[in-house]
Structure 1
Amino acid sequence: MTRHEGDMERTFAALPPAHGRGFAQTWWGQAWLRALEDTALDSGQVKTGRGLARAGAVGAVSVRPGRITAVVQDRDRTTHRADVLLAELPAEQWDRLLDLAVERSGHVAALLDREMPTHLVEDAASEGIDLLPGLGDLEPECDCGAWDHCGHTAALCYQVARLLDQDPFVLFLMRGRAEDALLEALRARSAAPAETAPEPDGVDAAEAYAAGDILP
């Protein structure tokens, strides 16, 4: 269940323990976890976080521009507030990303189906717009005192991978644009009339005939 705190914050109820593979069934969810695993200096902490998330130790997740937050319970039942920061896209990059989204047919429909269009991410990256996080982009903060990714921030990232699998708009919100505002901007761009084509050079046929430029 998702609770909307406002246009720029969503809170997702705690998910039950994960069974089977459990995490990152989609290509964009897998890219999210690669960013965590490539960034964290201690693979043991990543493994601990995966175990905590799998056990259902991550509480409700708050998602807002630039930050995700949850309370994570250790195996000894102590709790810690974990945050992971992801930079928002600047306004000019958002404008270009929206333009790219409507340039190819199918992008908007895919988003409405809760799918992340591969070509949209690739086209954006080719213009220097990184929608998905990469190495070093997921910045951890935790009240346990760790300065790098700890088991708590890793657990939060694994839980968010499950949320991203279900709804890629979670990533757009982290990058600074709420779902309703994003869809409204896409609709406005899709409905914008095409520029009127310029009239070709030349003169009216009747005028040309009267001037003797056309032989009878």
Structure 2
Amino acid sequence: MSYGYYKQGPSVAEKRVKAQKWIASQLRKKVDITPVEEGCKPGTTWWGKAWCNNLERYADFSNRVTRGRSYVKNGFVVDFKFVNGVIVAKVLGSRAKPYDVQVVIEDLSEEKLQLVEKQCTQKLDSLETLLSGKFPEDLKNVYFEYLFPTPREIKFYCSCPDSAYMCKHVSAVLYAIACRVDSDPLFFFALRGIDTAKLLAKSIDDKVEDLLSNVTKTSKRALADEDTDKLFGL
């Protein structure tokens, strides 16, 4: 009986070294690259964690996407850019040259955006509140349900020969998005084509309008002129 020979690929440590060498070579050539920092842990903020949770809640993604965590952590995403609405990345695999990966996230539909704006009414007062994730629990549920993309809204491509629906290089880039969102929450809104200024303005305008409407209402505690005269003996 003959047994097929399986060639073992490079170890994680070897690939780390290879990634570092590739990055160094590109920097020496003054190539514009933006590597995801080695040791990055996706999901350290509310927005980054919600991004990861959203990916993992779908059956289509859950069995495949988690393989990308170790690739991000070990620094194998050697380039990550957002160009004209497309994430363009390079991910190191078993070969010397990184694979090319592209990911496109569809813009949030106008219908969903209006639903979110309606729920945001008077619950947001600043950009800092929005980006920090320190808003009411019910608003967190709304954001998680409506702002984050479904599998159908995520398109991707990888130059590797893997025929799987989602290869580990693509999943690495999806987790790299979480790292980027952790460091810059505004990136998430750019991905989904959401104007944060408009989102905040709607909430603040509604809050101001409500305050003004209360000012113009006659309070039940207000005294009529004749009652005031009686009170002060006039």
The alignment's TM-score, normalised by the length of structure 1, stands at 0.64
* C-alpha separation in 2, matches of 1:188 and 1:70: 35
- Of the candidates 23, 33, 43, which is equivalent to residue 24 of structure 1? 43
Using CA pairs under 8 Å that are at least 6 residues apart, name the structure with larger relative contact order, 1 or 2.
1
RMSD (Å), alpha carbons: 3.6
Does residue 62 of structure 2 align to residue 62 of structure 1?
no
Residue 204 of structure 2 corresponds to residue 190 of structure 1: yes
Matches within 5 A, 1:116-135: 117=135, 118-123=137-142, 130-134=146-150
Q: How many percent identity over aligned positions?
A: 22
Is 1:171 aligned to 2:188, yes or no?
yes
TM-score (norm 2): 0.60
Which residue of 2 is the match for residue 80 of structure 1?
99
Contact 1:35 1:135 in 2 (8 A): no
Alignment-mate amino acid for residue 115 of structure 1: G
SS of the equivalent of 1:103 reads: coil
Q: What 5-or-longer segments of structure 1 have no aligned partner? A: 1-10, 207-216
Q: SS of the counterpart of 2:133?
A: coil
Q: How many residues align?
A: 180
Structure 1 residues 102, 166: CA separation in 2 closer, same or farther (over 3 Å shift)?
farther
Are the aligned partners of 1:64 and 1:173 in contact in 2 as well (CA < 8 Å)? no
Which residues in structure 2 correspond to 1:102-181 (within 5 Å)?
102-106=121-125, 108-112=127-131, 114-115=132-133, 117=135, 118-123=137-142, 130-134=146-150, 137-144=153-160, 146=163, 148-177=165-194, 181=195
Residues 91-100 or 79-88, more deviating: 91-100
Is the CA contact 2:90–2:99 (under 8 Å) kept in the aligned structure 1?
yes
1:91 maps to 110
Q: Please tell me whether the aligned partners of residues 121 and 202 of structure 2 are also in contact (alpha carbons under 8 angstroms).
A: no
Q: Which runs of 5+ in 2 are unaligned?
A: 1-31, 219-223, 226-234
> Are 1:63 and 1:170, in contact at CA under 8 Å, matched by a contact in 2?
no
Shift of 1:17: 0.5
Task: Give the counterpart of 2:61 among 15, 31, 40.
Answer: 40
Read off the aligned partner of 1:86 and give its amino acid letter. Answer: I
- Paired residue secondary structure (1:17): coil
Which residue in the other structure is 1:15 paired with?
36
For the residue of structure 2 that corresponds to 1:84, the secondary structure is strand
Aligned equivalents of 2:200 and 2:152: distance in 1?
Answer: 30
Retained in 2: the 8 A contact 1:36–1:138? no
User: Deviation of residue 75 (structure 1)?
Assistant: 3.4
Q: 1:41 to 1:148 in 2, by over 3 A?
A: farther
CA distance in 2, matches of 1:111, 1:64: 24
Deviation at 1:105, TM superposition (A): 4.5
Quote how far apart the aligned CAs of 1:64 are: 5.5
CA distance in 1, matches of 2:181, 2:74: 19
More helix by percentage: 2
Deviation of residue 42 (structure 1)?
5.0
